Amino acid sequence: MLPLRDPEKTLPLQDPEKMLDSSVPETRSETSHWDKSIGLPAPETGHSLKETLSHLSPTNTRGVHPQEDSAGGPRSEKPRSSQSSQSLLHRSQAYLNAEVSTAHADILFLWCCFISGLVDSTIYNAYGTFVSMQTGNTIFLGLGGATPDSTSKPYGWAKSLISIAFFCLGCLTFSQLTRFFGKLRRVTVAGSFLSQTLIIFIAAAVVQGGSVEGRLGNITDDIDWWTAIPIALLSFQSAGQIVGSRAVNLSELPTVVLTSMLHDIFTDEKLLAKANVKRNRRVVAFFSILSGAICGGFIGEGTQRMQIPLWIAGGVKLGITLAWVLWPEKPTSAV
């Protein structure tokens, strides 16, 4: 067979770039339909196909790299972890700033009544004064000034005066803070009870550590002024309970007063009515204080130490604090 071409005459190899350049005509219409359809500027006379195709890879149709912004710098993207943490912080703030519902809040304040009875019976056995029932302290203050030598509780009037003063200071402090932060906001109510819990724990720790005499029935002829520390602390925190009950519109549960509560029970015109929520709350509050005082008496008699009932009272109030943290939100009325 005859060869199709002369083996000695081979075509010279050409540069691929030159081949591309030679395959495109030197001139093109600047208004070509193809240039407009892909969004590229019409190449001027003398532009090669290679230069024209360089606009397509790997940039977008605007000639900007996907990982760069329009200014040519790297695109700034917030990491997902930062966005999620900001979202969690925003939800937490909204949750704490929301107003809590007052429905069934009486359950928590009935436990506060139990705490009042438990702490007052303990402090009275130890120091001969009260930290919640300021009516009794007022009587002790008057008796101490009138009969300083015949009383069985020397300097009892001074302890009662300290209790009254710090109770009043607590009412002033808790009420001002409640108004400032919003009386029904979750952070306000939970923060108030958390501070009360910490104060009780501090008082119990002071007695537990031996800085203050903690034996019950140890009233002597002289006064140990260090006992003013737990008296002042416990009186201050007890004021937070009555401020809290007024903030949630439960004036029938003052938690620290019995006289007016007994009066309201037996002067209620619906005393014998089948459905009377306020009467029921007052009756249960009375027995809650009474049961707290009984428990304080038995615990004190069995241990002869006042710190044990204080730790129990602090634990109960800590439970109330956690309940406020998880308490349902106040329903919003549709406009």
pLDDT in tens, 223-266: 778 889 999 999 999 999 999 999 999 999 999 989 999 999 99
Residues 68-82, buried b or exposed e (16+ Cβ, 10 A)? eeeeeeeeeeeeeee
Average pLDDT, the chain: 81
50 φ, ψ (degrees, to nearest 5): -60, -40
* Helices of type H across the chain: 16-23, 33-37, 49-53, 80-97, 106-127, 134-146, 156-181, 186-208, 228-247, 259-266, 277-303, 307-325
Highest mean pLDDT out of 21-30, 153-162, 180-189: 180-189
Q: If you search the block for the tokens 């400032």, which residue do you land on? A: 180
Least confident of 79-83, 150-154, 194-198, 265-269: 150-154
Per-residue pLDDT tens over the stretch 143-182: 886 765 555 667 788 899 999 999 999 999 999 999 999 9
CA distance 117 to 121: 6
Rounded to two decimals, what is the model's pTM?
A: 0.73
